[in-house]
């Protein structure tokens, strides 16, 4: 290193230190929180290859963005708040962070008053809490409509299963000027391209003996195995890039073939 470069570097470090910022913290990654349900949540190794799209999202982000996946299996927009999960996220949010908000699967359950919300009223009201409280912390909320289920019509096309909830979220995003990832639409297109048989590799469809964690096999048309979680996470990440919600430098490998082994399954719940 020549004298001029060395002197410039020294002055830069001195400026950071005088401002109370160390070089190691100057480039701290932005946090991308995920508030959602079982389709997004992280699963432990004893449940692999089951995985959520929030668990797979880090595959597509660089070291400049860190995913904090707070999604909870069985949660609705209402129960997540009532359980204090939103409080926990808000307490950790910093200016410039992001909050991805994706609920709907369990908001639909009229038989369960602890989770049910009505699309045009209470659903929007609860979602508004996530938006308003994250903005109050200087963070940036992003609404994500529910990923579609694997339910095909007799003609071999995906049948919508989320009723009025995706439209309600779209309306709220427009009203409150919040970025929207229309995962309902993009996942429907993805599953239609893959078809009835092709989607089995995305969802948790395993034959008996195929996985030690599911010795009798499983046929789950709502939750994903690793490859499906990766493809749905790719949809989310691509939308965030295309809408310039995060900087283009936050993303990687969006056009690469990603093996399921790229996902991390923790040995215990966080």
CA 167 to chain centre: 19
Is position 38 annotated as part of the catalytic site? yes
Contact 30, 206 (CB under 8 A): no
CA 55 to chain centre: 8
Q: Among residues 105, 162, 205, 223, which one is catalytic?
A: 223
Is position 111 annotated as part of the catalytic site? no
Is position 186 annotated as part of the catalytic site? no
Q: Among residues 38, 41, 76, 134, which one is catalytic?
A: 38
Alpha-carbon distance of 264 to 258, in angstroms, equals 13
Catalytically active residues are 38, 219, 223
């Amino acid at each position: 290193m020549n004298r001029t470069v060395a002197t410039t570097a020294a002055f830069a470090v001195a400026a950071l230190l005088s401002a109370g910022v160390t070089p190691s913290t100057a480039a701290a990654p932005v946090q991308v929180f995920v508030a959602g349900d079982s389709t997004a949540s992280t699963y432990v190794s004893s449940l692999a290859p089951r995985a959520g799209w929030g668990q797979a999202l880090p595959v597509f982000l660089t070291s400049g963005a860190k995913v904090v996946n707070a999604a909870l299996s069985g949660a609705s927009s209402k129960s997540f708040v009532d359980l204090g999960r939103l409080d926990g996220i808000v307490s950790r949010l910093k200016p410039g962070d992001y909050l991805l908000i994706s609920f709907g699967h369990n908001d639909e359950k009229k038989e369960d008053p602890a989770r049910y919300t009505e699309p045009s009223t209470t659903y929007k009201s609860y979602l508004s809490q996530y938006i308003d409280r994250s903005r109050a912390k200087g963070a940036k909320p992003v609404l994500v409509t529910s990923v579609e289920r694997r339910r095909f019509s007799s003609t071999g096309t995906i049948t919508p299963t989320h009723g009025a909830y995706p439209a309600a979220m779209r309306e709220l995003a427009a009203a409150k000027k919040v970025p929207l990832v229309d995962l309902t639409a993009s996942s429907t297109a993805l599953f239609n391209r893959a078809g009835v048989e092709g989607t089995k590799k995305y969802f948790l469809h395993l034959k008996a003996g195929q996985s030690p964690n599911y010795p009798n096999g499983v046929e789950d048309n709502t939750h994903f195995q690793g490859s499906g979680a990766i493809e749905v996470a790719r949809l989310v990440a691509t939308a965030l890039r295309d809408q310039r919600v995060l900087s283009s430098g936050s993303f990687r490998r969006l056009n690469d073939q990603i093996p399921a082994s790229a996902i991390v399954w923790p040995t215990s719940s966080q």
